[in-house]
Amino acid sequence: MPATPSPRSYLPEHDLMFFGGVPAVYHCHHFNLFLDQTIDDAIGPQAGAALRFTAARAASHDLLAGLAARAGTSTPIERLALAQDTFARMGHGRLGVTADARGGEAIGEWLHYGFAWREKYGSVVRRTRPADAFAAGFAAAAVEVAFGLPRETMDAAEIECIATKGARCRFTLTPGAAPPAVPSVGEAEVRAQLRPSFPGREEQAIAKIAAGLRDFTAGVAGDAHGLVPAFGVLVTMHLAGYYNRICCDAVRQVEARAPQVVGAIETLLRESGHVCVFNTFGGILLSPEWEGLVGPPDSDPAQIVVGCLGIARALGFGHWTLGELAPGERLVVRTPSSYESVYSLARYGKLPRPNEYFLQGASLAIAQLAHRVDWKSRPQLTPEVYAALFQGGELPWKAEQTESSSCGHPRSEVVVTRVA
C-alpha cells in the first residue's frame, strides 16, 4: 500500500509552504503573542478578539476540509479526531472537542497562546480576557467540517483560560449566523499571484541552509502536550491566512475610523518582524542544530545575513534573496513574492502602497543582528537584550520598501541603510 503523502509541501522556487493545501509558515510564541496584542491595541480588545477568532475559524476550516478530503475521512468522529491530532501536531497544544451540529464544548490543555502568555507575562501582568482566539476558531471550524456545516456558521466562546488564572481552557460551541464572506486564499490562489523567481547573491549558500533546515523541520511535531519547544522558543506551524487577515483587516479598520493613527499600527506590525528575527532567527543561530548544519555563528555580518535569509526561506516566508550587502552601510533584501504579498494580491488586487510590514521589519532586524550582536560570545537573547537593540531610542538603521509585488511591481525590495 503506498505511503500517504505528507500534507506539508513547498513551492521550491518561491520558498512558500503549504499544509493541507493552505498557506502555512512557522512562527514562535513571542511573535504570536506580540501580533495578537498589536491587533487588540489597534482596534480594541473586544473587536480584536472577534477579528482573531473569525480569521482563525476561516483559515482553520480551509485547512481541515483539505486534510479531511486528503485522508478520505467520512464520519464526524474521524474528522474530529483528525482535527485534534492536527492541532497538536502543529504545536498548538491539546484540544478535545465534544460536539455535534447543534454545538457543544471544547477543552484545551497546554494551549500555545494561553500557556505561552502565562509563562511569559503571568508573574508580572494580570490578564482579564482569554488568550486563545485561535484555538476557539479552530474548534469551531473542526465542528463545521466534521458535520458538514457551512463555513463560518459555528461560534465559540472561551469561558475559562489559564492566562486568566483558570485551571484549564474551556470553550462553548454554539451555532451562529455566517458573517459576510471573505474569499479563501489557498494554494491555487497563491500560485495565481506568483511573480517569476530569481536568484540573488550567495544563492548557493542560502539555498543549502534553507534545505537543511527544511529537512530538520520535516520531522518536528507536537510533544506529549502538543507543544514544540525548539531553539529556545515555542514553535508553531501556523496558518498564513490567519496572520494576513488579522493584519490587513486591522489596518483597514484603523484607516476607516482613525486614519491619523495608521502609522502607529504599521510601526507595530513592522516591529513584529523585529520580534520574530530576534527570538526565532536568533534562537536558531545559537542552536546545536545550526552548529551541526552550518557551524557556530561568528561576527561576520555577511555570514549572519546569509544565515538569516536561509532561515526565512525554511520557515516558509518566501524566496528572500540578497540583493546587496555593504557591511556597516547597506543591506538590500529582494523577493519575488512574500507570504504577505500573495495574500494581499489575491484578496484585494494591486494596492497603492506597500503593506509587507513583516518583510520590512524583519529586513531591518537582520541588519541589527548582523552588525550589533557579538555572536562569538554566545549571548542570551533576553528581553533586556531585545530592548537594548530595538527599543533604546532611534535605531541606527532604517528600512524603506522601494518595490512591492503587492503594488504590481515584479518583485518586492526592502533597502536597509545606516543612519547613525
CATH assignment at residue 74 = 3.30.1380.20
At residue 17, φ and ψ (nearest 5 deg) are -110, 145
- Cell triple for residue 276? 520574530
- pLDDT tier for residue 5 given thresholds of 50, 70 and 90: low
Do 140 and 202 belong together in one domain? no
The span from the CA of 7 to the CA of 27, in Å, is 18
Do 61 and 104 belong together in one domain? yes
414 bridge partner residues: 333, 401
- pLDDT tier for residue 3 given thresholds of 50, 70 and 90: very low
Does some domain include residue 33?
yes
- Cell triple for residue 36? 495578537
User: Which of 13, 385, 325 lies closest to 199, judged by CA?
Assistant: 13
Considering 91-100, 220-229, 287-296, the range whose residues carry the highest mean pLDDT is 91-100
User: How many residues in the chain?
Assistant: 420
Rg (CA), the chain: 21
Does some domain include residue 189?
no
Does some domain include residue 15?
yes
97 bridge partner residues: 106
The span from the CA of 156 to the CA of 135, in Å, is 9
**Residue 99 sits in which domain range?**
8-175
Do 393 and 306 belong together in one domain? yes
Do 205 and 168 belong together in one domain? no
Q: In what order do the strands lie in the sheet with 154-160?
A: 94-100, 103-109, 169-175, 154-160
| pLDDT exceeds cutoff 50 at 379 | yes
Does some domain include residue 233?
no
The count of structural domains within the chain is 2
pLDDT at 31: 97
Report the half-sphere exposure of 96 (CA within 13 A, side-chain side): 8
Does some domain include residue 309?
yes
Do 37 and 148 belong together in one domain? yes
- Cell triple for residue 115? 500557556
Do 132 and 218 belong together in one domain? no
CB 168 within 8 A of CB 135: no
Do 146 and 272 belong together in one domain? no
Do 171 and 136 belong together in one domain? yes
Query: Who's near 237: CB < 8 A, 6+ residues apart?
Result: 8, 19, 24, 25, 26, 89, 90, 91
Does some domain include residue 368?
yes
pLDDT at 268: 96
The total of other beta-carbon atoms located within 10 Å of residue 231's CB is 22
Do 148 and 207 belong together in one domain? no
CB 290 within 8 A of CB 281: no
Ramachandran class of 355: left when φ > 0, alpha when ψ lies in -120 to 50, beta otherwise? alpha
3-state SS class at 326? strand
Quote the pTM value: 0.95
pLDDT at 1: 30
Taking residues 270-283, report their average pLDDT.
97
Does some domain include residue 243?
no
Do 269 and 157 belong together in one domain? no
Element of type H or E holding 115: helix 112-121
- Cell triple for residue 412? 518586492
Do 38 and 105 belong together in one domain? yes
Does some domain include residue 294?
yes
Do 351 and 206 belong together in one domain? yes
| pLDDT exceeds cutoff 50 at 360 | yes
